[in-house]
Amino acid sequence: MAKKGKKNKDQGPGTSTIVVNRKARHEFFIEDTYEAGLVLEGWEVKSLRAGRVQLVDSYVIVKNGEAWLLGALINPLPTASTHIQPDPTRTRKLLLHDHELSRLIGAVERKGYTLVALKMYWKKGRAKIQIGLAKGKQQHDKRATEKDREWQRQKQRILKEN
């Protein structure tokens, strides 16, 4: 019987989070999110199950009508197969519907948006990635966001004390 991971309540039943790119929400304004499947090799799936993945500087490009994930680091397990040479930073194909791809192509090429990887998770036994259509934040935007977040924390402390 397969192991069951921690359930994430906002994704529904049958899902568990592998990794979250918290830096992306700090660096970008996320306008819209999309769910995409990943084309992986066998050793990559085993590494995902072990949690050996980083999405910090990963992004998505759209080339020839296909979406590709760049910069995601999936470290191979030490017990990975010896007859293949695992490449931890290889470009991985993303599986999206045609209407989603056309919408993303239009936004990225015409409006100056970028696509960033937000989180990776399991859904019904399949590895999925959540990508966000995003615009970059300036330094003053980051400071304003941090100021708002600190104010919200302070309000919660005040309400908790009273």
pLDDT of residue 37: 93
Tell me which CATH code domain 15-137 carries. 2.40.280.10
Q: What is the dihedral of CA 74, 129, 65, 39, to 10 degrees?
A: 50
Report the predicted TM-score, pTM, of the whole model to 2 decimal places: 0.74
Burial label for 150, CB within 10 Å (0-12, 13-18, 19+), is: exposed
Domain spans in the chain, listed from the N-terminal domain onward? 15-137
pLDDT tens column, 88-109: 888 999 999 999 898 888 888 8
Contact between 48 and 86 under an 8 Å Cβ cutoff? The reply is no
pLDDT score of 76: 87
Q: Which residues of the chain have pLDDT under 50?
A: 1-9
